[in-house]
Copies of this chain bind each other. A is one copy, B any other.
Amino acid sequence: MAPSFPFQSWQANPLSDWSIPVEKSFVGIVGMGTVGAGVARLLLDHGDRTARHAGRTLWLQHVVVRDVHKKRDVDLPAGVLTDDLDRLLNDRQVSLVALLVGGIEPARTIAVKILESGKDLVTANKALLAEHGPELFDRARDLGRSIAFEAAVAGGIPIITNLAQCLNANKILSVSGILNGTTNYIVSRMDRGQGDFASSLVQAQRLGFAEADPTMDIDGSDAAQKLAILAHLAFGAQVHWADIPRRGIEQLQVDDFRYAQQLGYRIKLIALAELTRSGLQLSVSPMLVKLGTPLAEVQDNFNAIRVVGDAVGPVFFHGQGAGQMPTASAVVADMIDTAVGRTKITFQTLKLWSDTAPSIEIAYPGDARARYYYRLNITDQSNVLAPVSEIMGRYGISIASVFQHDDDRSDSNVVPLVIMTHETTEQNAAAAFREINQLDFVHPAAQRLKVLNSTGG
């Protein structure tokens, strides 16, 4: 008797070595860029994996693209490629769609149409979620559908599932992450003394780690979008990414990396969400991270996230934050979770970005407590420390260490003065720094950086 297609079928290949009846879930993809091609390759070339791991094959039924004539680096079976979105939307066999189109529009319109056609959504589009998450999640709930988005944050690192599921027994105390591979490549290179910001950015672009317009990476916006998503999962924070205080890496100088090393630190662009007495502190900024701690050792274009839970303590995740196959790995994991029904459960129980869920209070950024690194460019003269420490004293800031590099003296008789403070507030650290910069022996382009607390953050 023939098996009752399409729900049960025998597949000779690729399941020849594992000949049991395998169910099919029909799936679609919208967008066939780098990640889309990676997802298609995993589904087409490695159907045996989903059969083994999900008890079913994810059968790629439609791939919707704008231009069907464009050359692509993946061979799709005949009849799969189309420029007609309705063909996918109207196919009632298809239960889930991976939306792999970047940017806000038309991604947003397509996402809504997918949900309205009764299909579950999987997406890697972080900008879309950062801008329209609440609206899309509400729509999905109204329609009884789900949205999975593992690939939207930290690429191959399964941080969404780990926060949404694995660490559920914890009150999360902090999330600190290196969430942008472009900037981590640049600061790693600067830390190793291989170039300044400008030349490292050019090298990142040459290697494909940075886009032609890297503004959103460099200025911390990309990391802030990801942090907004993680902060919602970990703390229930309902915050728009643009409201997260952020600072990019453009102003970092090679000397700062050298001085940080001498103090026992590396400079990294850190996305930080930390529970404090006055609420949740959120920031994206270059910070000094203690050498020998896991985040300090994250090199080149890798991403990493440190989560501290009150029960589990610190847990650290490290992996490829972008790239075709790492991102495709996360998308296909989501497709499997959706096909087998895990996503539906998680989506329903977590009530993400829902009006009815309580939101945590966001703390005033000036109240954030940390140690600070100041690097001042001063005229080499006697008695500079007295007025500097007088100002700091007035703001209640005590100095942990000071050093002056006479060997870094430039022709103009200007030398760097590096100060590490004890813990103080962002507000006081900023105000004292401003005032110090007005002293007549202090030259422009001074630097002020926060130090990552190695226990809490």
Q: Could you tell me which A residues sit within 8 Å of B by CB distance? A: 17-18, 20, 38, 42, 46, 49-50, 52-56, 150, 156-158, 161-162, 165-171, 236, 292, 294, 297, 309-320, 323, 325-326, 328-333, 336-337, 340-342, 345-346, 348-351, 356-358
Contacts and interface: CB of A to CB of B under 8 A. Distances in A.
Contacts of A236: 52
13 contacts: A49-B168, A49-B169, A54-B168, A54-B349, A55-B348, A156-B312, A162-B162, A166-B333, A168-B332, A169-B333, A294-B294, A313-B319, A314-B319
Contacts of A326: 311-313
Residue among A165, A169, A337 with the most chain B CB within 10 A?
Answer: A169
Contacts of A310: 325
A168 B319 contact: no
A165 B55 contact: no
A52 B356 CA distance: 11
Contacts of A314: 319-320
A160 to B, nearest CB: 9
A96 B362 CA distance: 37
A315 B154 CA distance: 11
Given A55-B348, A342-B346, A316 B313 contact: no
Copies in the complex: 2
Nearest to A236: B52
Contact of A42 (B55, B165, B166, B311): B311
Contacts of A18: 357-358
A313 to B, nearest CB: 5
B315 A317 contact: yes
Nearest to A172: B49
B49 A171 contact: yes
A202 B18 CA distance: 50
Given A329-B170, A329-B311, A342-B342, A337 B165 contact: yes
Given A158-B166, A313-B323, 20 more contacts: A18-B357, A18-B358, A38-B311, A50-B169, A54-B168, A156-B311, A161-B161, A169-B331, A169-B332, A169-B333, A294-B297, A311-B332, A312-B325, A312-B330, A313-B319, A315-B318, A315-B320, A316-B317, A317-B317, A340-B349
A342 B333 CA distance: 15
A304 to B, nearest CB: 8
A316 B315 contact: no
B162 A17 contact: no
A332 B330 CA distance: 25
A311 B294 contact: no
Contact of A53 (B315, B319, B350): B350
Contact of A292 (B297, B312, B318): B297
The 6 closest A-B pairs by CB, nearest first: A158-B166, A169-B332, A55-B349, A316-B318, A311-B329, A312-B329
Given A55-B348, A311-B326, A313-B156, A17 B358 contact: yes
A232 to B, nearest CB: 12
Nearest to A319: B315
Contacts of A316: 316-319
